[in-house]
Amino acid sequence: MQQAWQKVDPTLYVRLYRQKSVSVLSKIPDGSIAGLIEILNAARCENKQVFVCGNGGSASTASHFAAGLSKEGSWGRDRRFRALSLNENVSWLTALANDTDYAEIFVEQLKNYAQPGDVLIAFSGSGDSENIIRAVTWANEHELCTIGISGKTGGRLGKVVEHKVLVDTTHMGHIEEAHFLIQHLITYYFMETE
């Protein structure tokens, strides 16, 4: 049986959604973001690779973040970010997903590129994506610095990363909005303050 949805005034919905967004975004922990800035600054100074990954909307955020660090965060600087989104190589991703297991798509790329001291940043709304968990677990075992950016509970991701930022909501739209703001806060710090 199809569920009947209550008609809501679109203007009211937009206003209420935006109010909730502002509330969620205002609760992003400043200290956690400052800590990530320090980690990334050290990685840049030490010429370490920064890997970023995610699924779905988080894949888009990961790609945007890697591009932002590499361009805006590096433009005109002697020391530049070596940031790479593990979501970008479609041929490799689909080959791994088809020939091995979708849960291995990030781990297998890390095996080719990662070195001890590199950084892995994982975006996950739920914190429970198996390919993310496997990548972080592998990274921990191979002495990478691991960062998880997730929703309210952090899921399994929150339990396996060294550093985490949790967005105080379970609403996926608001989680993804916050993730996007987090990556902009970090990128624009490097762009506008150095």
88-to-93, 167, 169 alpha-carbon distances in Å: 8, 25, 28
Please give the average per-residue pLDDT across 33-57, as a whole number: 97
Per-residue pLDDT, 95: 96
DSSP secondary structure string for all residues of 4-50: PPPP--HHHHHHHHHHHHHHHHHTS-HHHHHHHHHHHHHHHHTT-EE
**Domains contained in the chain, CATH given:** 46-66+82-179 (3.40.50.10490)
**Residue 113 in this model has a pLDDT that exceeds 70:** yes
Does the CA dihedral 68-69-70-72 come out positive or negative?
positive
Phi, psi of 128 (to 5 degrees): -120, 10
- pLDDT at 144 > cutoff 60: yes
> For residue 8, what pLDDT is reported?
84
| Average pLDDT of the residues in 153-158 | 96
In Å, how far from its chain's centre is CA 174? 14
Q: If you write DSSP's letter for every residue of 116-176 in order, what string do you get?
A: TT-EEEEEESSS--HHHHHHHHHHHHTT-EEEEEE-SS-TTHHHH-SEEEE-S---HHHHH
Q: Is the pLDDT assigned to residue 185 strictly greater than 50? A: yes
pTM for this prediction: 0.94
Average pLDDT for the chain: 95
Q: What does the pLDDT look like over 165-181, one tens digit per residue?
A: 999 999 999 999 999 99
- d(C-alpha 188, C-alpha 69), whole Å: 9
Residues 6+ positions from 176 with CB-CB distance below 8 Å: 57, 58, 61, 125
Q: 5 vs 60, which has greater pLDDT?
A: 60
Distances (CA, A) of 131 to 12, 38, 92: 39, 27, 15
Number of Cβ atoms within 10 Å of the Cβ of 150: 28
